[in-house]
Amino acid sequence: MSTLKGMLFGQYAGEGLSQLIEELQKKYKPKKGRRFNYENITYEIGRPSLNNNQIEFAISSKIPQDELKDQTKMDTYFEKIKSLMEKENKKPISIEMENIIWGTKKDSDKQRDYVKLIYQYPLDQLFNNDNVAKEHEEAQTKPNAFADIKGAYTNQGKVVLDMVRKSIQQLALQHMDCLIAANAKVKASLKI
């Protein structure tokens, strides 16, 4: 059973990730849903969920199978991406090669292989107690600073929820930047 804290953190983590997707779709080529395309690779940020008192979310990138042609090359591509992502400061809890089948028409399906990375963050790592008082003081000078924060009755609670939204957005962006860099490095090394 979720706690109120978990539900509120999940809601604001979701808002942060949705705002990040909008920014990335403006910066790169937008695709449907929660996806964007850069350098002929589609990226996606999944919706967050609450799992064991932690916010969990996935990011993924399509393996450029049109350029790789066979399964051995796709497996090599995945292993190289996996190796690079395992060197990240905050390692994903899971790195998988996921196969997705898209039904584009009634008589044909498109099969796509993706690198899927799953990250988890304990709720208490998404805000900083020391900064809550500072940000609360700063917000006192701006009467509508947290007008969009619903669900918290105190200004300190609103500061925490705003921190959660911004923290998850920043963390997901760092992970996405690493994934984009890893794809560029692997594509260059395989000369595709």
Concatenated DSSP letters of 18-38: HHHHHHHHHHSEE-STTEEEE
Q: What is the pLDDT of residue 126?
A: 86
- Dmax over CA atoms of the chain, in Å, equals 61
At 148, the pLDDT band (50, 70, 90 cuts) reads low
Residue 179: pLDDT above 80? yes
pLDDT at residue 108, rounded to an integer:
47
Percent of the chain whose predicted confidence (pLDDT) is above 70: 80
* Residue 56's pLDDT band (cuts 50, 70, 90): very high
Number of domains in the chain: 1
SS3 40: coil
Contact (Cβ atoms closer than 8 angstroms) between residue 123 and residue 6: yes
Within 13 Å and on the Cβ side, how many CA atoms surround 187? 18
pLDDT at 136 over 90: no
pLDDT bucket at 133, cuts 50 / 70 / 90: low
* Distance, CA of 119 to CA of 135 (rounded, Å): 27
Q: Which residue has the higher pLDDT, 7 or 29?
A: 29
User: Which residues span the domain enclosing 98?
Assistant: 4-190
- Say what the pTM is: 0.86
pLDDT higher than threshold 80 for residue 64: yes
pLDDT tens-digit profile of 107-120? 545 567 899 999 99
Average pLDDT, the chain: 85
Using one digit for the tens of pLDDT, what is the confidence trace for 99-108?
Answer: 765 545 555 4
Give dist(CA 55, CA 145) in Å, integer: 25
